[in-house]
Amino acid sequence: MKDAVTLLGYVLVGLDVLLVYKPISLFATVGECTLAPWDSPRRLVVRRPYRHVRNPMISRVLSILVGEAILFGTVTLLVWFVIFFAFNVLSRPLIEEPLLEGCFGSDYVTYKRNVSGGSLA
């Protein structure tokens, strides 16, 4: 049983590290920006994973944190996951979404209406 749990941790971390590449590369190529908060996207990114989930990078990071908590068997990483999750649930609708609506207007409102994710995923 312990081997299966360890394997699950490796799969979560490994797969999510690979999957986070695409949203980051789309930010650079389509959004014409970096991940730095002071370098906002110049264009709204709605391709690939962004067609299905509004925040694929955050989803991947959360999954990586769960995988690490499983791998290392530590409550500390699980607590960090909860804190990071709570921060994102609160900050997305209060900070990020209004900024994106201000920047991209009706395009973002339409995107938000059509793509799942609530304030996190």
Q: What is the pLDDT of residues 29-81, one digit of tens each?
A: 999 998 887 888 899 999 999 999 999 999 999 999 999 999 999 999 999 99
* pTM for the whole structure: 0.84
Name residues whose C-beta falls within 8 Å of residue 80's C-beta, 6 or more positions apart in sequence: 65
Place of tokens 């530590």: 74
Q: How far is CA 55 from CA 49, 73, 74, in A?
A: 9, 27, 26
Burial class (CB in 10 A: 0-12, 13-18, 19+), 35: exposed
Distance CA 19, CA 31 (A): 18
Mean pLDDT value across residues 106-115 = 94
Burial class (CB in 10 A: 0-12, 13-18, 19+), 1: exposed
pLDDT > 90 in the chain, percent: 73
Longest C-alpha distance within the chain, in Å?
51
The mean pLDDT of the chain is 90
Q: Are 20 and 61 in contact (CB under 8 A)?
A: yes
